[in-house]
Structure 1
Amino acid sequence: MTESSAKPVIRLLLVEDDQIDRMACKRALAQHGEYEFILFEAETGNQGLKVARDEKIDCILLDYHLPDLSGVEFLSELAEDSGDLPMPVVMLTGSDNAMVAVDAMKLGARDYVVKGADSGGDAMQWLPAVVMRALREQQALLDKAEALAQLREAEAKYRCLVEQMPAITYIASLDTPGKLLYVSPQIQQLGFAAESWLDGCEGFLRRVHEEDRGAAIEAYAATYDNHAPLRCEYRLITHSGQARWFLDEANVVQDENRGALCLQGILVDITLDKENAQELYYYRRRLEELVAQRTEQLEKQSGILESANARMDHELCERKRAEAALRASEARFRLLLESAGEGIIGVDGEGLCTFVNPTALNMLGYDQEELLGRDVCATLHPGTTGADETCCTYHAFRHGNARRGSDTFRRKDGSALAADCSAQPMCVDGKVVGAVLIFRAVGTVY
């Protein structure tokens, strides 16, 4: 359907072998003043099929009884490989064979109009309205198909992004507490196939270390009862029997009309952080033991004041430095635990930002609209181009090479953000289509 400067234009194909019926159709269409109908005519089915394929037709008016083809045969020839008709079809039928038109509608025809003087009134007067209704239905189907295509494209894009992240993402049911509806392939790092976690109703809880299971169940219960955010740490037992520490953070997904839908979360392996904490604890205890031993020695050697004072000053200085280092280490570790979320930026094959999470926005000082569609390498490293060979993100989306290391990003206000970052290429069917940059801040340089 096109539109001229005066009023909308509708291109119709009338396939009818009876000249009187064709004239009746023309009169009915001419009485509709809101649209201009351009009418193509064909007296046989084969002529009509040729016009339908050669011309840009918005709607077809089809007589069921034609000299060479029946209405059913015409619809079969017109249908595409998928079985759908490329344009709406309105059947023209006599009052004595309306059921034939109904059968044709089962094959894809949108509606029918009874023609002829014996139709019990001038039914042709409704022809323009029937045509407009068929066109509206056709447009609604096209809009629905386009919306579904966009939805599938968006789902594929975000699934690809999620499944390229090092962290484990999951969706859990709210109807059956603990039951997993989805878990990303990264769960295989525990030695189990992703599908095996979807069986049963315990989800991760069945693999939680027995010493941590009670606290984990209590944390999940609070989230399911109050729809509060979930944050807990526990050990999961791998297929080989090894225990690994994970930080579990999740939120209840809400819908304005349907309420709470599901629990969506992320599992981050913090085993290395826990080992560092254990090592710090060991050195602190060892330091305390050394201080106690040195103090005891000083008390026993109180007779040698000069030597004792020198040794005490030395030990006190060492103790202060060790305690300062311990406090600094504890502060960094506490910050690591309290800031478990990493900054995540997704880029396409040209290095343009397609996704950025709130943590990354907060660290870089940008709004989401300011980063989407921008060259990530050039934005994070002003003064360089997107082909900066020192940028780990460039190597990921351009060469398909995973990079991990330290880098300095430029924030929106001009300050420099020092970060540990990991860039992983995103691949579809063996082809690099983008990359995921995951980073966490290690300091800010002014």
Structure 2
Amino acid sequence: MSELSNKPTIRLLLVEDDQIDRMACKRALAQHDDYEFMVFEAETGNQGLKLAREERIDCVLLDFHLPDLTGVEFLSELAEASGELPMPVVMLTGSDNAMVAVDAMKLGARDYVVKGSDASGDAMQWLPAVVMRALREQQAILDKTEALAQLREAEAKYRCLVEQMPAITYIASLDTPGQLLYVSPQIRQLGFAPEAWLEGTEGFLKQIHAEDRETAIEAYAATYEHHTPLRCEYRLIAHSGQARWFLDEANVVRDENRGALCLQGILVDITQDKENARELYYYRRRLEELVAQRTEQLEKQSGILESANARMDHELCERKRAEAALRASEARFRLLLESAGEGIIGVDGKGLCTFVNPAALAMLGYEQAEMQGREVCATIHPGAAGNDEQCCTYHAFHNGIARRGSDTFHRRDGGVFSAEYSAHPMQVDGKVVGAVLIIRASG
């Protein structure tokens, strides 16, 4: 850019052996109102190639007939190993060989300008507009390439996060009920390779326990017919023959233009929760039996010993206290079951939050926007500042070591809560890129 001009500068390489044509090109470029052209001149193809590689050239004006090279040979030499030109090229051609320029465009040239005059006057008047159009097309291609690269990176990060979670994620077809299109590697916990579940059209249905199959089929049928969310519990038979309970939750993925696309869901192993529920039911029934037995004894004593009213009153009070304790116990267990849910937090290699689910937000008292990008160790363990090894996620994202245990976590309002946790490293190509923290509140 010149010292007297505030216009943006375009660095342009003019490869033309005819001095008069070079002057005509520079004169036409000088007429542009919005940009200033810094022109590098070359009389031969080899000189042009040297300048193109040494200078930061934005665009090339190339004459097809050069003393040492043809335009096709110049383009072949300029092209990178991928076969792509590093900058846009506009061909300069005479009125009698426009088809030659068209052939050059097939090899990567963006456009061409006919030297000399046309029916409307000087054809060179269109040169600045042709150059600017070529530059805009080049920028559009670069923007698209960058966008695709960012999309691939985002997809890789999402897949990495999904496949590091303990839960099983899947995508099912809406055209063939039950047919799986994708299932995460966590399905191996049942003893089957992911590929085995993608074969055939039954998907999970082929491994559902016989007692749960009818209920599961009805739930799936309602989702496929009405595109409503899916939520059901059933047992899957592992390769070893063991039955494990799973919670299956899924939603129909829709597109504004194409409508419903697929069914995307998650399978959570709730076997331990089911066992806890059975134990709770057993103890509740046992308490009811004990209360019933004690009540029967009191009734018998009341009928036989009318004189033992004082003692019977005492026993009745004990009974009421036992019933109150039973109700309180039932209320605590019911609250525990209704609050069951694991908080999941994704952490990058710097310890910053990249993902947090609603259960974790509820536990910590933060909004989604507040947690995103926040330093996890400093948030849930303020005391870990300056000593990251105290943080439950540190060894996972820093050393690639999984860790399980229990700890005290800090909420946004300054309060704390105790929870069991497991921190798993996230790895890409053998390199630790972050961690997944799963928090199960201790109650």
Alignment TM-score > 0.5, same fold: yes
Looking at structure 2, the residues matched to 429 and 2 of structure 1 have their Cα atoms a distance apart, in angstroms, of 50
The alpha carbon displacement at 1:38 in A equals: 0.9
- The question of whether the paired residues in 2 share the 8 Å contact of 1:95 and 1:119 is answered with no
Of residues 362-371 and 119-128 in structure 1, the stretch that sits farther from structure 2 once superposed is: 119-128
- The question of whether the paired residues in 2 share the 8 Å contact of 1:63 and 1:71 is answered with yes
Looking at structure 2, the residues matched to 103 and 246 of structure 1 have their Cα atoms a distance apart, in angstroms, of 63
Looking at structure 2, the residues matched to 326 and 220 of structure 1 have their Cα atoms a distance apart, in angstroms, of 36
The alpha carbon displacement at 1:114 in A equals: 1.7
- The question of whether the paired residues in 1 share the 8 Å contact of 2:384 and 2:391 is answered with no
Question: Aligned AA for 1:219?
Answer: A
Q: Relative to structure 1, is the Cα distance of residues 5 and 182 closer, same or farther in structure 2, using a 3 angstrom cutoff?
A: farther
The alpha carbon displacement at 1:33 in A equals: 2.1
CA offsets 1:86-117 (integer angstroms, 9 cap, x no match): 10011112222222222211211111112235
Of residues 315-324 and 33-42 in structure 1, the stretch that sits farther from structure 2 once superposed is: 315-324
The alpha carbon displacement at 1:386 in A equals: 6.0
1:345 and 2:345 aligned: yes
The alpha carbon displacement at 1:178 in A equals: 2.4
Matched residue, 2:165: 165
Matched residue, 2:338: 335
Q: Relative to structure 1, is the Cα distance of residues 308 and 240 closer, same or farther in structure 2, using a 3 angstrom cutoff?
A: farther
Alignment of 1:388-399 (within 5 A): 388-399=388-399
The alpha carbon displacement at 1:49 in A equals: 0.4
Looking at structure 2, the residues matched to 411 and 50 of structure 1 have their Cα atoms a distance apart, in angstroms, of 63
Looking at structure 1, the residues matched to 15 and 100 of structure 2 have their Cα atoms a distance apart, in angstroms, of 17
Matched residue, 2:360: 360
Matched residue, 1:94: 94
- The question of whether the paired residues in 1 share the 8 Å contact of 2:233 and 2:247 is answered with yes
Question: Aligned AA for 1:164?
Answer: Q
TM-score by length of 1: 0.90
- The question of whether the paired residues in 1 share the 8 Å contact of 2:117 and 2:124 is answered with no
- The question of whether the paired residues in 1 share the 8 Å contact of 2:229 and 2:251 is answered with yes
Give the aligned CA root-mean-square deviation in angstroms. Answer: 2.8
Matched residue, 2:272: 272
Figure out how many residues of one structure are paired with residues of the other and give that number. Answer: 440
Alignment of 1:272-351 (within 5 A): 272-296=272-296, 303=304, 309=312, 312=315, 316=319, 319-320=322-323, 323-324=326-327, 326-328=329-331, 330-336=333-339, 339-340=340-341, 342-351=342-351
- The question of whether the paired residues in 2 share the 8 Å contact of 1:89 and 1:110 is answered with yes
Secondary structure, counterpart of 1:211 in structure 2: helix
Secondary structure, counterpart of 1:389 in structure 2: helix
- The question of whether the paired residues in 1 share the 8 Å contact of 2:356 and 2:368 is answered with yes
Q: Relative to structure 1, is the Cα distance of residues 3 and 298 closer, same or farther in structure 2, using a 3 angstrom cutoff?
A: farther
Q: Relative to structure 1, is the Cα distance of residues 419 and 33 closer, same or farther in structure 2, using a 3 angstrom cutoff?
A: same
Q: Relative to structure 1, is the Cα distance of residues 76 and 261 closer, same or farther in structure 2, using a 3 angstrom cutoff?
A: same
Matched residue, 1:235: 235
Looking at structure 1, the residues matched to 279 and 95 of structure 2 have their Cα atoms a distance apart, in angstroms, of 91
Matched residue, 1:416: 416
CA offsets 1:346-381 (integer angstroms, 9 cap, x no match): 111221112222332233222233222221111112
Q: Relative to structure 1, is the Cα distance of residues 318 and 405 closer, same or farther in structure 2, using a 3 angstrom cutoff?
A: farther
The alpha carbon displacement at 1:246 in A equals: 0.3
Matched residue, 1:246: 246
Q: Relative to structure 1, is the Cα distance of residues 285 and 371 closer, same or farther in structure 2, using a 3 angstrom cutoff?
A: closer
The alpha carbon displacement at 1:326 in A equals: 4.5
- The question of whether the paired residues in 2 share the 8 Å contact of 1:378 and 1:386 is answered with no
Looking at structure 1, the residues matched to 164 and 273 of structure 2 have their Cα atoms a distance apart, in angstroms, of 22
Question: Aligned AA for 1:100?
Answer: V
Matched residue, 2:80: 80
Matched residue, 2:216: 216
Looking at structure 1, the residues matched to 414 and 224 of structure 2 have their Cα atoms a distance apart, in angstroms, of 43
Looking at structure 2, the residues matched to 382 and 75 of structure 1 have their Cα atoms a distance apart, in angstroms, of 61
Question: Aligned AA for 1:223?
Answer: T
Q: Relative to structure 1, is the Cα distance of residues 180 and 234 closer, same or farther in structure 2, using a 3 angstrom cutoff?
A: same
Matched residue, 2:22: 22
Looking at structure 1, the residues matched to 131 and 51 of structure 2 have their Cα atoms a distance apart, in angstroms, of 18
CA offsets 1:174-216 (integer angstroms, 9 cap, x no match): 3333222221110111111112222223222222112112221
CA offsets 1:324-354 (integer angstroms, 9 cap, x no match): 4650453145315xx54x3221111221112
Of residues 382-391 and 131-140 in structure 1, the stretch that sits farther from structure 2 once superposed is: 382-391
Secondary structure, counterpart of 2:87 in structure 1: coil
Looking at structure 1, the residues matched to 239 and 335 of structure 2 have their Cα atoms a distance apart, in angstroms, of 32
Looking at structure 1, the residues matched to 284 and 92 of structure 2 have their Cα atoms a distance apart, in angstroms, of 92
Q: Relative to structure 1, is the Cα distance of residues 362 and 335 closer, same or farther in structure 2, using a 3 angstrom cutoff?
A: same
Looking at structure 1, the residues matched to 328 and 404 of structure 2 have their Cα atoms a distance apart, in angstroms, of 27
Looking at structure 2, the residues matched to 370 and 325 of structure 1 have their Cα atoms a distance apart, in angstroms, of 37
Q: Relative to structure 1, is the Cα distance of residues 286 and 4 closer, same or farther in structure 2, using a 3 angstrom cutoff?
A: farther
The alpha carbon displacement at 1:149 in A equals: 0.9
Question: Aligned AA for 2:177?
Answer: P
Question: Aligned AA for 1:142?
Answer: L
- The question of whether the paired residues in 2 share the 8 Å contact of 1:2 and 1:10 is answered with no
Over the matched positions of the two proteins, sequence identity in percent amounts to 77
Secondary structure, counterpart of 1:95 in structure 2: coil
Matched residue, 1:70: 70
Looking at structure 2, the residues matched to 233 and 95 of structure 1 have their Cα atoms a distance apart, in angstroms, of 76
Q: Relative to structure 1, is the Cα distance of residues 266 and 84 closer, same or farther in structure 2, using a 3 angstrom cutoff?
A: same
- The question of whether the paired residues in 2 share the 8 Å contact of 1:395 and 1:403 is answered with yes
Looking at structure 2, the residues matched to 3 and 437 of structure 1 have their Cα atoms a distance apart, in angstroms, of 58
Matched residue, 2:191: 191
Alignment of 1:380-395 (within 5 A): 380-385=380-385, 387-395=387-395
Looking at structure 2, the residues matched to 54 and 414 of structure 1 have their Cα atoms a distance apart, in angstroms, of 60
The alpha carbon displacement at 1:42 in A equals: 0.5
Secondary structure, counterpart of 1:41 in structure 2: strand
The alpha carbon displacement at 1:310 in A equals: 9.4
Matched residue, 2:379: 379
TM-score by length of 2: 0.90
Secondary structure, counterpart of 1:96 in structure 2: coil
Question: Aligned AA for 1:330?
Answer: F
Q: Relative to structure 1, is the Cα distance of residues 294 and 364 closer, same or farther in structure 2, using a 3 angstrom cutoff?
A: closer
- The question of whether the paired residues in 1 share the 8 Å contact of 2:395 and 2:402 is answered with yes
- The question of whether the paired residues in 2 share the 8 Å contact of 1:396 and 1:424 is answered with yes
Secondary structure, counterpart of 2:323 in structure 1: helix
Structure 1 segments unaligned to the other structure (5+ residues): none
Structure 2 segments unaligned to the other structure (5+ residues): none
Q: Relative to structure 1, is the Cα distance of residues 5 and 165 closer, same or farther in structure 2, using a 3 angstrom cutoff?
A: farther
Secondary structure, counterpart of 2:96 in structure 1: helix
Looking at structure 2, the residues matched to 351 and 298 of structure 1 have their Cα atoms a distance apart, in angstroms, of 63
Question: Aligned AA for 1:150?
Answer: Q
Q: Relative to structure 1, is the Cα distance of residues 280 and 369 closer, same or farther in structure 2, using a 3 angstrom cutoff?
A: closer
Question: Aligned AA for 2:229?
Answer: P
Q: Relative to structure 1, is the Cα distance of residues 111 and 189 closer, same or farther in structure 2, using a 3 angstrom cutoff?
A: same
Question: Aligned AA for 2:238?
Answer: T
Looking at structure 2, the residues matched to 2 and 286 of structure 1 have their Cα atoms a distance apart, in angstroms, of 93
